[in-house]
A = this chain, B = another copy of it.
Amino acid sequence: MQTETRHLNILVGQSGGPTAVINSTLYGILKTRSVYPEITGIYGMINGIEGYLKGSMIDLSLLSQEEQELLKTTPGAYLGSCRYKMPEDQTSPIYQKMFDRLTEDQIDIVLYIGGNDSMDTVAKLSDYALKTGSSICFVGIPKTIDNDLCETDHTPGYGSAAKFVASNVRQIVMDAEVYQTKAVTIVEIMGRNAGWLTAAAKAARKYPEDNPVLIYLPEVNFYMDQMLNDVRELLKTKNAIVICISEGIHDEHGTLICEMGGRSATDVFGHKLLAGAGKVLENTIRQELGVKVRSVELNVTQRSSAVEASFTDVMEAVACGVKGVELAMEGWSGFMVTMHRIEDKVLYDIDYRGTKVTNVSNEVKSFPEKWITKGGTDISDEFLSYLIPLIQGESYPPMENGLPRFIYRKQSIG
């Protein structure tokens, strides 16, 4: 008696902004080959759905053991990424083209690693499959430093970015406090709609009254005059003031603070000058309060630093990759991997589950109002209980000649 052996081909794509651990998830997916003998091949879309539609695909089984290990600690997106939105209209020829290609490549499972928009892609493709009777299974795996996906305790990528933010804000504070002069330092942190990452700056404080003394999230309206008053007051008892802001802070009309800088500004060449929110605050404080001001935009380093990644985040990203394969093997098409914190345990522990991707794709999980304190200028200690487990442990990439060693595909002409 012979049991029929299934032969399954998996296609993986990465989409949206890169993180320190999106490749750790890819590593996790590759690791499942050893437990699922029915997995025949694991392929990668180059530059997500957009590249795949143009025919870009690689065979990931060609990666050596050593290369796979490097994936675990390589930032960016090994497969390349895209920001491509599938059309709302399912009669668009793009859908037929996509499924023709998948059929031609004998793909059974599509795993898509990404954020909000990528989950929209998974929702549309799994829905199309259902309607057309295709057996191809589509599973989403979360990834975003913004931590703004619903239905999951947190997202892979957030822990590492949060650790980078907290650690570097602490070090910027150490730097900012060396002089006796009155000075203000503004640190601008990523997060256009959600303040999760900026809130991590709270963990930078070494003691209760330590810097950063003011933290502003996009979940709260920002009032320039109130901020100036607060800074003026704080400068009476401190020499160095450090303020952390989300890039997406806005006034009560919803106007972004960063837009207030660029509207009329031009450089000597007549070019429009686009400045960030930090720069706008810097100029305002300098002119209104007459103190030394510096603004620091943490910029892409906060999402690209594998050197300062959280070990917990790396291992959870790996586990999400594994869970993605498990969900697909069980046939949960149109689902996304989720992480659930087991509340009644003494030690922090995560249970990996799945949720309908439509519960995630068009929603944003804002930073909870209950954790915003002091009239929108501070974060509660309860948030720290949530955050601290996510930034535990270090994950150093292998070093070569004093620098981190990564796996990479050489750039091609687009």
Query: Measuring CB to CB, which residues of chain A are less than 8 angstroms from any residue of chain B?
Result: 14, 18, 47, 50-51, 74-77, 80-83, 163, 166-168, 170-172, 174-182, 185, 203-204, 206-207, 236-240, 260-269, 271-275, 279-280, 282-284, 286-287, 294, 296-301, 303-308, 310, 388, 391-394, 396, 399, 401-404, 406, 408, 410-414
Contact = CB atoms under 8 A, between A and B. Distances in A.
Given A18-B178, A166-B402, 13 more contacts: A80-B178, A80-B180, A81-B178, A171-B301, A171-B304, A171-B307, A171-B404, A174-B406, A174-B408, A185-B300, A204-B403, A238-B413, A267-B284
Nearest to A241: B411
Contact of A203 (B178, B236, B301, B403): B403
Contacts of A284: 267, 269, 271
B279 A275 contact: yes
Contacts of A81: 178-179
B391 A163 contact: no
Given A240-B411, A260-B269, A300 B306 contact: no
A16 to B, nearest CB: 9
B273 A268 contact: no
Contact of A410 (B185, B207, B297, B306): B207
Contact of A299 (B174, B296, B304): B296
Copies per complex of this chain? 2
Contacts of A260: 267-269
A214 to B, nearest CB: 15
Contact of A403 (B50, B163, B300): B163
A16 B409 CA distance: 43
Contacts of A408: 174, 206
25 contacts: A47-B179, A47-B180, A76-B175, A77-B178, A82-B180, A168-B304, A168-B305, A170-B403, A170-B406, A171-B306, A171-B404, A175-B304, A204-B403, A206-B408, A236-B413, A239-B412, A261-B268, A265-B265, A267-B280, A273-B275, A273-B283, A294-B300, A297-B299, A391-B402, A392-B401
B264 A267 contact: yes
B268 A175 contact: no
Contacts of A406: 170, 174, 206
Contacts of A305: 168, 171
Contacts of A179: 47, 80-83
